[in-house]
Amino acid sequence: MEQAAVEMLQQPGSIELIAILYASLQFSGIVAAGHAIFNARSAQGATAWAIALIAAPIAALPFYLVFGRNRFVGYVDARRSADTRHSWIANQARNVCNAFRSELQDRGGRLRSLERLAHLPFTYANRVDLLVDGQVAFAAMFDAIRRAEKYVLIQFFIVRNDDLGEKLKALLIEKARAGIRIYFLYDELGSNRLSNKFVRQCREAGIRIEPFRSSKGFTIRFQINFRNHRKTLIIDGDYAFLGGLNVGDEYLGKSSRFGPWRDTHVSVEGPAADAVQLIFTEDWHWATGETIENLDWQARPAPNSNADVLILPSGPADDYESCSLMFVQAIHSAEQRFWIASPYFVPNEEIIAALQLAGLRGVDVRILLPANPDHLMVYFASFAHMKATGSRGIRFYRYTEGFMHQKAFLIDDVAAGVGTANLDNRSFRLNFEITLLSTDRPFAAEVEAMFEQDFAKSLLVPHDDIDRRSLPFKIASAAARLMSPIL
């Protein structure tokens, strides 16, 4: 092999060709470094990328093509260039929500600014139900699908070919054969193990099932670091479900690796369901280029309930880091307490500052994390970030009875949120997420009781827990923290 290399270099023009290739690569690295300096969302990220791209372009360029993007290209353009019919549907949905616009009485008005992030209003006349863990949540969702009379819109980040996935498929096929229209969206990367057979059987039964691809066409073919992390279900435009659960047996606690699975979903009836439906139609339009016709946009008030609800979508196509700003505003609005559960704790500087200020002004800040990890890098990074928050008024808990995957938060006794967003940079910058935020006090009381039960099954750990760990653990934590922007 060495002899062959020598002979190749002895060929006329070989050295000149190598020099040209190296110079081109170095020039490409410099151009990419300039792009990073002008487009990275943080000074630290711009500096790190620029140094790597100039010093080692061979290694850094492929990573930058995949991980260097911080804006999702094409989604907004597709929305703006949508056909007239799709634009009419979007306007119709927003008109319905505006007709039920809430006045947000009392201290809930502190959250009004989040409407601008959502491009949707808080609506009244909703019913919100908390669904704790997979058995309860999937029983409610399966029952709602059985009662569907016109159509089902369903979207998950992960769909597996296991027992739960097969039961869902069988139910959807049964409804499709009964004349119910089914539109099924799954994330292409999150569901990369979903079999062709599963998809084929759905399509043969008349189900419209499509992947959400982050990369479409040549110009954005490397846009593979983004995910559609939303998990939603809409029934006839009247009911909607969202939360942390995906379609897999582990979400029912059947995994030998994770054991019991702690998660939270939520259902909503009323005009807020139309907001969830609008978000699904926009995801579907990106994925397929098509507009879903004949959806019900005539919102009906939920009987015997009047909860104020905001549906807040967020993602890398937004003008702002909507997800991060949502958490910052939620933390700043707290006066007595801010409790939050997330499987991952890899916050940005803005979140850390908001938590520190809340602790300093006497807010009871509690952060619930899993004791057992599913992603080691994220787990190691959390210890470094825990220490960075400081100890003033902030308490960390590790859930010990299985794996904790829920994404929920509580603001005083005023408001509560349940959704798909984690406290990490992937949710802040790279994932499409959705959150339900309600200022309904009975709902907030339910979330409070849920948190109390979770804290009773958790261990209180010091913010400087990492100082008690071994040197290899500390090194792993420090290295993982450096990877925080893409974790």
Catalytic site positions? 229, 231, 236, 405, 407, 412
CA atoms within 13 A on the CB side of 13: 1
Question: Maximum CA pair distance of the chain?
Answer: 86
> Three-state SS for 44?
helix
d(Cα 141, Cα 433) in Å, to the nearest integer? 20
From residue 41, give the alpha-carbon distance in Å to each of 45, 218, 429: 7, 24, 9
Q: Is 394 helix (H, G, I), strand (E, B) or coil?
A: strand
DSSP for 350-382, please give it: HHHHHHHHHHHTT-EEEEEEESS-SSHHHHHHH
Residue 434 to residues 163, 314, 427, 485, Cα–Cα distance (Å): 27, 6, 10, 20
| Run of H or E including 431 | strand 431-438
Query: Terminal CA-to-CA distance of the chain, rounded, Å?
Result: 39
How many CB atoms within 10 Å of residue 303?
9
Whose CA is closest to 39, among 50, 26, 29, 25? Answer: 50
Query: Are 114 and 232 spatial neighbours (Cβ–Cβ below 8 Å)?
Result: no
Cβ neighbourhood burial of 192 (10 Å; 0-12, 13-18, 19+): exposed
Q: Which residue has the tokens 């925080």?
A: 484
Decide if 85 contacts 293 (C-beta within 8 A): yes
**Cα distance between residue 208 and residue 240, in whole Å:** 19
**Of 228, 483, 261, nearest to 378 (Cα)?**
483
- Residue 205 DSSP class: T
367: closest CA among 403, 401, 332, 391? Answer: 391
CA 297 to chain centre: 26
